[in-house]
Amino acid sequence: MASLPIFVGLDYHQDTIQVCVMDQNGKTLKNQACTNDWRQVRRIVGPRRKNVAVAVEACCGAADLAQELADEAGWTVSLAHPGYVACIKQSPDKTDYSDAKLLADLTRVGYLPKVWLPPEQIRELRKLVRFRGQLVDDRRRAKLRLRAILRDERIAVPDMRAWTVPWLRWVREEADLSTTSHWIACRHLDKIKELDREIRVVERELGDWAESDQVCLKLMELDGIGLITAVSLRAEVGRFDRFNSGKQLSRFCGLTPRNASSGNRQSDSGLIKAGNPQLRCVLIQAAQRLKRYNARWRSFAGRLKRKGKPHNVIVAAIANRWIRWLYHQMQPDQLAS
């Protein structure tokens, strides 16, 4: 009996996991909760079970559990897309019992909407890349608040480039601010300086990581691609060959136009709302550099401009075409050459 396939759905929580065990005929064998530990999950399923297909929704912490079950228990473990699972369920009711059962049943019938389970090395890189993104967002907000103070005080900004050393010195020492506004502005300046230092520390760590990674080194050889773009692609995409086409990769990055056709009307409606926003931002910035410094993409941008396309559409089109081209450059046979 231990050789017969069984299907397991896990409803993951920080402290507990709801485990539903289902046989190949759809009969629920067990559906109970346990502590958040792969050994407890294996105890419920059965320690001798080997032909086990497990599904768990992708969420914070679920990837580590999935890796443990795959490595330690030897089971086949898949991460499920939570948004698509919710659409399939189509029910206003939500319980751990029903969620675990749905995951087990979707795995049994082969309808589970899967997402990629990255290896531990890529998950660790994602933490670094996203931590840097959080620091950059904090710095941007501090700069916006400082600008707001200058506008609120109606300060005439001198004719110099913002955020340079002379400009920062002017804000701290010469701007005609009230006592309270000056005190707050200095706190923002100190925070921006500290965030600059933290970002440089993280970027050095990312640089050390990239030096030992073949994919990052290959990416940084390309025109317009620096360290941040390379590690962002490596962290979020991971393996380029896990996609079936360049178009599929572009959609994952959120760079393809969303189809808004109906009947005889054929039209697009902006970029699709998919993928990691931080990755899409990095790729749009890379397209800006390609448009300026790369002859091929500068010529492509010129053709679109002559057709009357606005600047933002041109940049998005470059990013879309470039990531599709990159898909073919980053296949295993190309990396080996």
In terms of domains, do 18 and 98 share one?
yes
- Quick one: angle between helices 227-237 and 277-293, nearest 10? 140
- How many structural domains is the chain composed of? 3
pLDDT higher than 60, residue 317: yes
Q: Which of 15-24, 150-159, 255-264 has the lowest mean pLDDT?
A: 255-264
CA distance 59 to 103: 14
Residue 23 has pLDDT above 90, yes or no: yes
- Is residue 82 domain-resident? yes
Same domain, 139 and 234: no
Is residue 1 domain-resident?
A: no
pLDDT above 80 for 224? yes
| Residue 241 and residue 266 share a domain | yes
- Distance, in Å, from the CA atom of 147 to the CA atom of 155, rounded to the nearest integer, reads 10
Same domain, 230 and 330: yes
Mean per-residue pLDDT over the chain, rounded: 91
pLDDT at 91: 78
pLDDT at 46: 86
Give a yes or no: residue 249 inside a domain.
Answer: yes
Q: Which of 83, 115, 147 is the last residue of a domain?
A: 115
Residue range 116-123: average pLDDT? 92
pLDDT at 2 over 70: no
Q: Is the pLDDT of residue 233 over 80?
A: yes
In the prediction, which pLDDT does 267 show?
Answer: 61
Check if the beta carbon of residue 35 is closer than 8 Å to that of residue 132.
no
Indicate whether 329 and 274 sit together in one domain.
Answer: yes
- Sign of the four-CA dihedral 137, 247, 216, 239: positive
pLDDT at res. 305: 94
pLDDT digits (tens, 9 = 90+) for 48-75: 778 899 999 999 889 999 999 999 999 9
pLDDT of 337 reads 61
**Confidence label for 265 from pLDDT (cuts 50, 70 and 90):** low
Q: Indicate whether 261 pLDDT > 90.
A: no
Q: What is the pLDDT of residue 336?
A: 65
265 and 320 fall within a common domain: yes
- Domain residues for the domain of 166 are 120-212
Last residue of a domain, one of 190, 212, 234: 212
Q: What is this structure's pTM?
A: 0.86
- The predicted model gives 84-102 an average pLDDT of 88
Verify that 276 and 302 share a domain, yes or no.
Answer: yes
Q: Residues 206, 282: one domain?
A: no
| pLDDT tier for residue 256 given thresholds of 50, 70 and 90 | confident
Q: What is residue 259's DSSP assignment?
A: E
Same-domain status, 49 and 64: yes
Query: Who contacts 204 (Cβ-Cβ below 8 Å, separation ≥6)?
Result: none
Pick from 329, 277, 286, 324: nearest CA to 129 = 277
| Per-residue model confidence as pLDDT tens digits over 166-219 | 999 999 999 999 999 999 999 999 999 999 999 999 999 999 999 999 999 999
Instruction: Let me know if residue 218 belongs to a domain.
Output: no
Q: What is the pLDDT of residue 268?
A: 67
Tell me, what's the pLDDT at 89?
84
Neighbours of 292 (CB within 10 A): 11
Asked whether the predicted pLDDT for residue 273 surpasses 80, the reply is no
Domain boundary among 63, 82, 115: 115
